[in-house]
Structures are given as structure tokens and as C-alpha cells.
Structure 1
């Protein structure tokens, strides 16, 4: 995990207040897609708040996993594990 760049993290109470206000507004905005998105965020309310309060991000790890999955899909049915291993090591 790496530290997230950007603005400093706000106070937890302020963050919760602003997030809850945004959720309330988004859930009744009249745009169905935004309302559905807000409902999903409401279901994961605690996790979303925790992700906004911490200065850490797992984006680098997720990017590496996505890259490896792409290489694996490209190699499917083409050759053996040794060639896949060479491609993975070359791509880094």
C-alpha cells in the first residue's frame, strides 16, 4: 500500500457529515443511475468512510493484478507456463 497523494484527510466527524449529506441528496436527486449508485454506497457506508479517512491506497497492487490478468488472458491457449512466465518478467 502506498500513501495517497492530494489534499489532507478531513476530520472524521466532518467527513461523515459531508458524506451523509451527499448521500441523502444523491438518493433523491431524480437521476436513477445516481440514486442506485448512492444506494450501493449506503450499503457499504462504513467501508466507504474508512477508505476516505485513511491516507493509504492499494491502487498500485490493484494495477499489478490487472496487468497480470491481462497477460494471462492474452496467453490463454497459446503456450506453456514457461512462456507466460517470460512475458510477465519482461513486462516489468
Structure 2
């Protein structure tokens, strides 16, 4: 972190300062076993279906496809 703050590249210095300010959150993200990959996967599937169904059918058909897919 010291090298990043002293490198004289403003983007790197700003990034290092932000990491230091949010130190507790960064440590928690790196050390906790919990991940949100499953939730992100479900959201991605839902968005894909929404894009496929846009302008083609009503909400009832969209809801049925979502429930059958997930």
C-alpha cells in the first residue's frame, strides 16, 4: 500500500486510499466464506429471459417461463 501511495500515478494512489478507507470491508470480503454467485446466476438468467421475451408476450407467459426455467 505504501508503494501504491508513493508511485506518483494518481489513479493508483486514489485506489490505494480507497482501499485503506474501506479496510474492514475489504478484509471481510477476502476472509468470509460467503459468496453471492448463486444469486447473481439467478439474476442473469432472469435478465436473459426478460430480453428474449421483450415485446413478444404478456406478463403471464413471461412469469410461466421464469418459473419453469429457475
Q: Provide the alpha-carbon RMSD of the alignment.
A: 2.8
Q: Give the unaligned 5+ runs of structure 2.
A: none
Aligned residues: 66
Query: Unaligned regions of 5+ residues in structure 1, if any?
Result: 1-22
Shift of 1:26: 5.3
Larger Rg: 2
Structure 1 runs, 4 residues or longer, greater than 4 Å off: 23-27
TM-score with structure 1 length normalisation? 0.52
Structure scoring higher RCO (CA < 8 A, sep ≥ 6) equals: 1
The structure with the greater share of residues assigned to strand is 1
